[in-house]
Amino acid sequence: MSSTAEAIVKPAGTPPAVDLREEFETSGVREVLAELDRDLIGLAPVKKRIRETAALLLVERARKSMGLAQETPTLHMSFTGNPGTGKTTVALRMADLLHRLGYIRKGHLVSVTRDDLVGQYIGHTAPKTKEVLKRAMGGVLFIDEAYYLYRPENERDYGQEAIEILLQVMENQRDDLVVILAGYSERMDRFFQSNPGFRSRIAHHIDFPDYTDEELLKIAETMLAHQHYVLDEEALTVMRDYIAKRRGQPHFANARSIRNALDRARLRQANRLFETSKGPLDATALSTISAEDIMASRVFSIAAKAARAEQ
């Protein structure tokens, strides 16, 4: 008998067959994926990767129930992409997904940055990092802008100590927690190059693309709808123009920029209502953002100045 044939012989007491469809339904994975599809606009490649990962984990779980696999697969991930592309939001969903599949016991997300992990003096870093790791046990540890942990210009930086502890736990306690590193693509690439230990311990690299203008407009509408605001016809065209212009300017942060712009538009709308209204206002007036609220943005004046300078 060859060794491969022996490997397929199943131990007694395991189910003879697994219905993946049914597993998919009963584990609640379908729900999470459907929610992801419904709630998040755009991000097609990300959704595809998550669906693939979910399929892999589902199959892996089925294999485990039949005694074909013993090891927990490596689940540590890296999310790379520009600011405001939904990394934190997806990480939350991922924690939920892993919890439903039974790969993590609690399913909570602990979101940290360098400040939470690295101490200020000798001997401060290890307890601090361990404290955070303990808090994340049974869930997902989300390290935002992970590359700040590694500061090559300062060889006495305590970040290295945090990295070593992280790597050790990522390797030895794969059953206990999942680590997701997030940050801008180029800087993450550099981070992984200088810390090969991380690269080899992370199985899933997911890249978050920038949103298109159309998607951002849809996001703006959804954000406003959540707060019971609407854009009127004219405001919609202005918003489209705004998005195109804002993208060309520095510090563009995708959905986050849009959220900030909408916050400012609401401020201007409130001011406008306060200054111009004479009589009582109805619900439509209170919840409509018109073109002038967005037109007043600095983005347009800067763009106009740039256009003049070009001429």
Partner 1 sequence: MRITQGAFSFLPDLTDDQIRAQVQYCIDNGWAVSLEFTDDPHPRNTYWDMWGHPMFDNPDAAALMMDLAECRKIYGDRHIRVVAFDSSHGWESVKLSFIVNRPAEEPGFRLERQEIAGRSIRYTTKSYAADRPAGERYG
Residue 176 binding partner 1, by CB under 8 A = yes
Nearer to partner 1, 177 or 217 (CB): 177
Give me the least distance between CB of 140 and partner 1, in Å please: 12
Residue 106 binding partner 1, by CB under 8 A = yes
Residue 112 binding partner 1, by CB under 8 A = no
Residues sharing a CB contact under 8 Å with residue 133, sequence separation 6 or more, in sequence order = 141, 165, 166, 169, 177
Residues sharing a CB contact under 8 Å with residue 274, sequence separation 6 or more, in sequence order = none
**Residue 207: strand pairing partners:** 80
The single-letter code of the amino acid at 181 is L
Of the candidate residues 30, 47, 63, 135, the single one contacting partner 1 (CB under 8 A): 135
Size of the site for partner 1 (CB under 8 A): 16
Question: Rounded to an integer, what is the distance from CA 191 to the centroid of its chain?
Answer: 19
Q: Which residue has the tokens 């030895």?
A: 172
Nearer to partner 1, 19 or 131 (CB): 131
Of the candidate residues 91, 117, 177, 182, the single one contacting partner 1 (CB under 8 A): 177
Residue 108 binding partner 1, by CB under 8 A = yes
H or E stretch at 224: helix 213-226
Query: Which of 83, 73, 74, 62 has the alpha carbon at shortest distance from 10?
Result: 62
Rounded CA gap, 240 and 260, in Å?
Answer: 15
Residue 161 binding partner 1, by CB under 8 A = no
**Residue 56: strand pairing partners:** none
Nearer to partner 1, 49 or 76 (CB): 76
Query: Which of 7, 8, 55 has the alpha carbon at shortest distance from 30?
Result: 55
Q: Write each residue from 269 to 308 as x if it is in contact with partner 1 (CB under 8 A), else as -, in one continuous string.
A: ----------------------------------------
Give me the least distance between CB of 109 and partner 1, in Å please: 11
Nearer to partner 1, 105 or 266 (CB): 105
Rule CB under 8 A: which residues touch partner 1?
Answer: 105-106, 108, 130-131, 133-135, 137-139, 169, 173, 175-177
